[in-house]
Structure 1
């Protein structure tokens, strides 16, 4: 199968450009309106043009977000038939890929992904007078305002933020500042090359703890390349892994039925009843349709 648990990810090649074109056309078979966004990788703009061309050739109307985090694209998909993110998430810069979303923000299921793969074998091109159209949208501003309408800080704090030169750079600094935080930004400029390894593992972030302590910050927030992952440090500069973040969020929100993946720590069962799925956010989302009031992965 081309698709894995988090969409398609592979090292960039001319073949990936052609594949993006065909995926775009196949996606438009069942979706007449589609939101498309991309991360900051050097190949993402090219792949966006390719996949959008496929969608247009199949007659779809495409709303282009430009550079946007994966969660922002998922949020924007609520207004259309499908969403598409060009990203390889936390993988190195030489990789790229495609992730597809349903209108409820969930990732395409294995069945939906299999249907797209089957559709790659067909011909989807419309006549010259049936081609689609593209319109720009500001999905980032809409997402930020939606969050700020629901969240505010109880007191002013100082936060260290490392976006890793990824798509989080276009929303998280303003989001935290809008909520009332003083933000100390690191790698928060959009760049096609990452200043550090994209995955927010403790081993990739040896400098964060010292900055938190020196600046007397309340915490640090760390993103990967498309900002679908978030890890943290506490006020003493100690790394907080995904298992503990999952526990903290469930306890803070008072959620008693949590869906997570099989690789998550047993510790989550100390604060909630737990259902486990295979690794991948699509599995977590699908399980939440029938059970649970909170879900997440320990990967961030």
Structure 2
């Protein structure tokens, strides 16, 4: 059954349009409040947000919706998505809500929901909430309306949890670190956590004004942090996105190190200590073939899922894995968090540098990626993937890469785009394969 409101990561869209209006946010809160009503205790929800201007509007609408259903609200102010997941579980809340559109520009916003265990909701929970959104809510009597309060120590709680992800003997005294917070949710907590362990911290993207989140800074816009690392002679750069659930690293030469390399590094160190569970790593179909080959050489496996950290997390939980993520930088370390946490992953990376006493360009480049090319083709009308000419082009491409690479074709979950990705040892062949499929998609679209 097609989803009406929820996408791969909650509800997201341009603010004041479609599913991202104040009225819809209130209905979502009322539906979620009704769905998570369990027992006769006073119910509670934790609400956090990133730094978007529209966060005030969405937050107030959510508060109105939840309190109208008799749910007490705890507001944290700007905090990373993983912090809200952590506080939901720690405070024995019935539900957690993060107001964020992650790496999107400030005009967009979103609503991410967490269950009482701190994990993102299942498909079944989201379907049940969707069904309730379009129904008239059963409001509580005036005497049972919920209360709202803001807690002041939420940042300190999260910083403490982040530092607990590394050994209590770990110090970063000899490291100079550029921390780029994308003018987003981690603008206070990430630099503080790293500084408290002794590093010299140079900040970037820590001056949010409501409209500059992800604007020329952060994990999806790396030029600024690359330049700052080189300019200051830093040992490493840490680039987070708007809600700080993903991480891209910059080495001392100003070169980017993506999620595949970070996963390889973390998994290798954990395997050496006997701490890696599941026998390998979970990633998506977009992770580089080089990562798969590297892990196989270490006697480890790479299990692939559909694109989306919720699918990675689902496989991790069902298979007993504790390391997973995406090439784009979502790092899920289940020993320390219930969702992707860029700051926790950064702490593990910094600890690895300290132990090895090697530069980031050596310590964090675990394998040589095979040539990989991704192109997007926009279309109008029905999906071109149903056209016989496109199916034939895909079969030809798969034959060309057989035994030498991979082809991944998928429709975007948020835009009318077909994403065509191929990788293999021969860069020229990879480009030819991708172009041939893209040409077929364009002709059919």
What TM-score results when the alignment is normalised by the length of structure 2?
0.64
Contact 1:198 1:225 in 2 (8 A): no
Per-residue CA distance 1:145-187 (angstroms, 9 max, x = gap) = 1222342335520001111111110210101101211110112
- Aligned-partner Cα distance in 2 for 1:61–1:10: 27
In structure 2, what is the equivalent of residue 116 of structure 1?
Answer: 129
In structure 2, what is the equivalent of residue 234 of structure 1?
Answer: 251
Gaps of 5+ in 2: 38-42, 330-445
In structure 2, what is the equivalent of residue 288 of structure 1?
Answer: 316
Mean CA deviation greater in 62-71 or 154-163: 154-163
Distance 1:229 1:150, change over 3 A: closer
Contact 2:263 2:323 in 1 (8 A): no
Mean CA deviation greater in 269-278 or 110-119: 269-278
In structure 2, what is the equivalent of residue 180 of structure 1?
Answer: 198
In structure 2, what is the equivalent of residue 64 of structure 1?
Answer: 75
- Aligned-partner Cα distance in 1 for 2:285–2:7: 17
The yes-or-no answer on 1:92 pairing with 2:105 is yes
Structure 1 residue 44: Cα displacement: 0.6
Distance 1:179 1:124, change over 3 A: farther
Task: State the secondary structure of the residue aligned to 1:174.
Answer: helix
In structure 2, what is the equivalent of residue 134 of structure 1?
Answer: 148
In structure 1, what is the equivalent of residue 328 of structure 2?
Answer: 299
Indicate the RMSD between aligned Cα atoms, in angstroms. 1.7
The yes-or-no answer on 1:190 pairing with 2:208 is yes
Distance 1:197 1:103, change over 3 A: farther
In structure 1, what is the equivalent of residue 117 of structure 2?
Answer: 104
Contact 1:85 1:98 in 2 (8 A): yes
In structure 2, what is the equivalent of residue 125 of structure 1?
Answer: 139
In structure 2, what is the equivalent of residue 74 of structure 1?
Answer: 85
Contact 2:176 2:235 in 1 (8 A): yes
Larger radius of gyration: 2
Aligned pairs (5 A) from 1:143-222: 143-151=158-166, 152-153=170-171, 155-194=173-212, 196-197=215-216, 200-201=219-220, 204-222=221-239
- Aligned-partner Cα distance in 1 for 2:205–2:317: 36
- Aligned-partner Cα distance in 2 for 1:43–1:260: 32
Contact 1:109 1:283 in 2 (8 A): no
- Aligned-partner Cα distance in 2 for 1:121–1:244: 44
- Aligned-partner Cα distance in 2 for 1:223–1:66: 18
Tell me which of 27, 30, 33 is aligned to 2:32: 27
- Aligned-partner Cα distance in 2 for 1:199–1:233: 11
The yes-or-no answer on 1:50 pairing with 2:53 is no
Tell me which of 13, 17, 22 is aligned to 1:17: 22
- Aligned-partner Cα distance in 2 for 1:280–1:124: 34
Bigger relative CO (Cα 8 Å, ≥ 6 apart): 1
